[in-house]
Every structure is written in structure tokens, then in C-alpha cells.
Amino acid sequence: MKSARLDATSGLVLRARTAEELMTPDPVSIEEDAPVREATALLTDRGIGAAPVIDAAGRPIGVISRTDIVAFDRRKVEHVPAGREYYNETDRVSPAGERLGDGFEVEDVDHTPVRELMTPLVIGVPLHAPAELVVREMLERKVHRLFVVDKDGVLVGVISATDILRHLAPPEHG
């Protein structure tokens, strides 16, 4: 495989020619209508810092990151309703009419969709974009990841800074 030299002084070469060779295929993504809580669980459970947000057709429309979620949570102000001490007895009845016993709690679930707090900027590259262009794009835009899309704009992969590092190696001597 032909290697593209990144920097004449580094002694390292990028052992990939295209975005397709650099990318992690089938990236974890989240739908734009998913609640924030689902995005939080996805990022936490998978141990990732961000995920693409996709529309119904599978096209990336934004990025949701842990930072977006923390900023959203910090802006959110919740007030305890006046005159209530924990729960009313009616709060402890299920929709089917069953009384919930002690130990059950009523949770106020935030239904805010991911699209309301995502970063609506998607930097996508085609599968056959040159690897050097991918690196240059990430550096110039100061981003940690780029999305790889097919000819229809559908998300097929992601290239993170870690993916780039994974493909760096000393030059071959010969």
C-alpha cells in the first residue's frame, strides 16, 4: 500500500490512502427525535465522547456530545412544585390504577429531543476522499471527528483522531 507522508520532520507516515481506509464503519448513531436521556445512556454505556445524530433517512444532521449534554443540563432549571411534599397519593397510582407501594418513586423524565441540543454542524467526507485531505480538514476545522457518507449522503463511517493515530507508522526502510 502506498503511504502518504504527513510531515517530513516527523518520520511518520499515514498508512491509509482514503477516508474509507481510515474510517470505523457503521458508527454508533442516535436518531434526532431520541430523548436526551437516551443519548446520555448511549454515550456513557459505549464510552464515547460524541455520536452523530441522524434523520429518518440515515443522513447525519448533527453531533451530540457529552459537552452538549452537560451544557444543556446546566442551563436547565427545575423547581419543586409548591405545596407538595414529595408526592401526592395520586402520583403513586399506575396508569392501570394500581397503587404503587413504598419504595417506588415517581421520576420526571425529560423528553427534550436530541436535535434541540446537538451541534447542527456535520462535516462529512466521501468514501474516496484522500487521507491527507481528511487530516487537513480535521486540523483546519479543529474537530475530533469527521463523518464518512456514501453518494446519497447516508452515514457509513466515522473518522476520529484515534483512527488517524492508528494508521500512523514509521516509514518503511528499503
pTM of the model: 0.71
Residue 2 lies in a domain: no
| Of the candidates 20, 51, 43, the residue with the CA atom closest to the CA atom of residue 129 | 20
pLDDT over 80 (residue 104):
no
| Of the candidates 132, 136, 138, the residue with the CA atom closest to the CA atom of residue 158 | 138
Q: Which residue has the higher pLDDT, 6 or 107?
A: 107
Digit-coded pLDDT (tens) for 106-132: 566 778 999 999 999 889 999 999 999
Residue 93 lies in a domain: no
On whether the CB atoms of residues 50 and 64 are closer than 8 A, the answer is yes
For 69-117, the three-class secondary structure string (H helix, E strand, C coil) is HHHHHHHCCCCCCCCCCCCCHHHHECCCCCECCCCCCCCCCCCCEHHHC
What is the number of domains present in the chain?
Answer: 1
Q: What is the structure's pLDDT at 56?
A: 92
pLDDT over 50 (residue 100):
yes
Mean pLDDT of the chain: 84
* φ and ψ of 20, to 5 deg: -60, -35
Domain that holds residue 154: 14-86+114-169
Tell how strand 24-25 and strand 155-160 pair up: antiparallel
Q: What is the structure's pLDDT at 74?
A: 85
Residue 96 lies in a domain: no
Q: What is the structure's pLDDT at 174?
A: 47
Digit-coded pLDDT (tens) for 17-47: 999 999 999 999 999 999 999 999 999 999 9
pLDDT over 50 (residue 153):
yes
Q: What is the structure's pLDDT at 36?
A: 94
Residue 7 lies in a domain: no
What's 57's domain CATH number? 3.10.580.10
Average the pLDDT over 3-7 and give the result: 51
Digit-coded pLDDT (tens) for 41-90: 999 999 999 999 999 998 899 999 999 999 998 887 665 555 455 555 55
Residue 100 lies in a domain: no
